[in-house]
Amino acid sequence: MTVLDEIDRKILDVLQADGHITNLELAERIGLSSAPCMRRVRTLEETGVIKSYVALVDAARVGLGFDVIVEVRLKQQTRESFARFEKKVTGLPEVVECCMIAGDWDYSLRVVSSDLARYQSFILDRLMHPDSDIASYRTTIILRKIKSTTKIDSSLF
């Protein structure tokens, strides 16, 4: 675990809101000069606190507005079946998030698609197949997102 001071937290808050900001603008916003600000950002990157910089795409605006949660239960809960399933889902572009979970289900997937028909095709033709490790699945259609963020608020750490 990396120990962060107040300046590191400010840097993270600003970069999570705008990863496209220049170092000069970032330094001004947090009250540091440019060189020390850049050193701190590099340290946060090198220690893995900052994993990457991305552009977040609005799925609905690119025709992928059908958003669902799929809970999956495997036939067997073994290392081998977990590994096979995880390898399979990492290769499915419709799956934008996959989490191993505790409880009645083994995995929770977030899947995007253009519509119900394409989603059904994804389930029947790509996720479920005769040699699948999946015993059962349950789909929950997301009607509206109330909160969806990638930001981890610095007040939490």
pLDDT value of residue 2: 86
Lateral strand order in the sheet of 95-100:
95-100, 107-113, 66-74, 134-141
pLDDT value of residue 130: 81
Residues 6+ apart with CB under 8 A from 139: 68, 69, 70, 119, 123
CB contact at 8 A, 48 and 88: no
pLDDT value of residue 128: 93
Phi and psi torsions of 149, nearest 5°: -145, 155
Number of Cβ within a 10 Å radius of residue 37: 22
pLDDT per residue of the chain (157 residues) written in tens, 0 to 9: 889 999 999 999 999 999 999 999 999 999 999 999 999 999 999 999 999 999 999 999 999 999 999 999 999 999 999 999 999 999 999 999 999 999 999 999 999 999 999 999 999 999 998 889 999 999 999 999 999 999 999 999 9
Number of Cβ within a 10 Å radius of residue 105: 16
State pTM to two decimals.
0.87
Helix spans in the chain (H): 6-17, 23-30, 34-46, 79-90, 116-121
Output the CA–CA distances (angstroms, integers) from residue 118 to 23, 56, 83, in the order listed. Answer: 43, 23, 26
Which of 80, 68, 81 has its CA nearest to residue 132? Answer: 81
Residues 6+ apart with CB under 8 A from 111: 67, 68, 69, 70, 94, 95, 96, 119, 122
